[in-house]
């Protein structure tokens, strides 16, 4: 296993999650991860790398852009990396969410809910414009209530357009909400596919520990920079809710 980069309470691994996860058994109190999955090329004309670590072409021909990592490849390892009682949030689009949930249930996670991220904007598409993504919200061990049971299934949270360093970068506020609901201060949040480190930024800002893995060298560097920035800025206060639901969360610009 490669030596991790340690930034305060964040431990960041550059490498393949399939190699690194077996060394992380039982460490995670919670998983919040925007996992790699196949994409449909259709509707948008700008270049997009999607969730893949390699630069794939993107055209408007409706073909499926494959992903060389199957949900069943990593799901057993993520389950083993969770402690006795852990919530997990796995994000995907409409095409992939069913298979993703099924893969999670196959390894022993249990179903809590399917959550919706309303992006507050739409992507042009010939098969209905796309304005949301989905989250397979599952658990291992005891089914614990979230910290604020009045929270709604649909979370409106603007996509960080214009300030992205990763093509599928998530808003910090989105990851922060799931972390805040399913963990306590000092708990360990795991993201085995951290991309530019958004989950890590949210975890550190919330006073949680973080373990992240990323295969792409450039994305890993971005994650190190953003999480270092979040640590320098300090936490926003334990369990503080996102400051701005209607605008970009501060961490997105880090």
Ligand X SMILES: C[S@@+](CC[C@H](N)C(=O)[O-])C[C@H]1O[C@@H](n2cnc3c(N)ncnc32)[C@H](O)[C@@H]1O
Interface with ligand X by CB under 6 A: which residues?
16-18, 34, 36, 51, 53, 69, 166, 168-170, 193, 195-196, 198, 213-216, 219
Nearer to ligand X, 195 or 242 (CB): 195
Strands lying side by side in the sheet with 110-123: 5-7, 10-14, 209-214, 188-191, 28-34, 82-92, 130-140, 110-123, 154-156
Burial class (CB in 10 A: 0-12, 13-18, 19+), 164: middle
Question: Using alpha carbons only, what angle is made at residue 78 by residues 96 and 37, rounded to the nearest 5 degrees?
Answer: 25
- The CB-of-51 to ligand X minimum distance in angstroms stands at 4
- The CB-of-62 to ligand X minimum distance in angstroms stands at 21
Nearer to ligand X, 87 or 214 (CB): 214
- The CB-of-50 to ligand X minimum distance in angstroms stands at 8
- The CB-of-25 to ligand X minimum distance in angstroms stands at 17
Closest residue to ligand X using C-beta atoms: 195
Nearer to ligand X, 5 or 145 (CB): 5
Burial class (CB in 10 A: 0-12, 13-18, 19+), 79: buried
DSSP letter for each residue of 226-248: HHHHHHHH--S-TTPPPS-SSS-
Nearer to ligand X, 16 or 141 (CB): 16
Q: Show the beta-strand stretches assigned E in 67-215.
A: 82-92, 110-123, 130-140, 154-156, 188-191, 209-214
- The CB-of-122 to ligand X minimum distance in angstroms stands at 19
Nearer to ligand X, 109 or 220 (CB): 220
- The CB-of-11 to ligand X minimum distance in angstroms stands at 15
Nearer to ligand X, 120 or 141 (CB): 120
Contact indicator for 188, 29 with CB cutoff of 8 Å? yes
């Amino acid at each position: 296993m490669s030596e991790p980069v340690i930034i305060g309470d964040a431990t960041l691994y550059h490498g393949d999650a399939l190699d690194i996860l077996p060394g992380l058994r039982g460490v995670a109190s919670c998983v919040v991860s925007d996992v790699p999955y196949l994409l449909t090329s259709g509707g948008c004309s700008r270049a997009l790398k999607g969730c893949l670590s390699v630069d794939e072409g993107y055209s408007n021909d409706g073909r499926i852009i494959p992903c060389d990592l199957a949900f069943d490849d990593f799901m057993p390892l993520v389950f083993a990396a969770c402690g006795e009682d852990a919530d997990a949030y796995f994000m995907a689009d409409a095409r992939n969410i069913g298979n993703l949930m099924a893969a999670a249930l196959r390894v022993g996670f249990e179903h809590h809910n399917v959550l919706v991220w309303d992006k507050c904007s739409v992507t042009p598409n010939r098969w209905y414009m796309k304005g949301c993504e989905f989250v397979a919200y599952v658990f291992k061990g005891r089914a614990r209530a979230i910290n604020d049971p009045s929270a709604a299934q649909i979370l409106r949270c603007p996509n960080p357009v214009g300030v992205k360093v990763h093509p599928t970068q998530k808003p910090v506020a989105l990851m922060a909400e799931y972390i805040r609901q399913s963990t306590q201060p000092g708990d360990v949040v795991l993201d085995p596919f951290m991309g530019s480190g958004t989950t890590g930024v949210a975890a550190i800002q919330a006073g949680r520990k973080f373990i992240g893995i990323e295969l792409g060298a450039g994305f890993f560097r971005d994650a190190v920079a953003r999480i270092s920035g979040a640590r320098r800025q300090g936490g926003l206060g334990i369990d503080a809710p996102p400051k701005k639901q209607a605008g970009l969360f501060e961490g997105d610009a880090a």
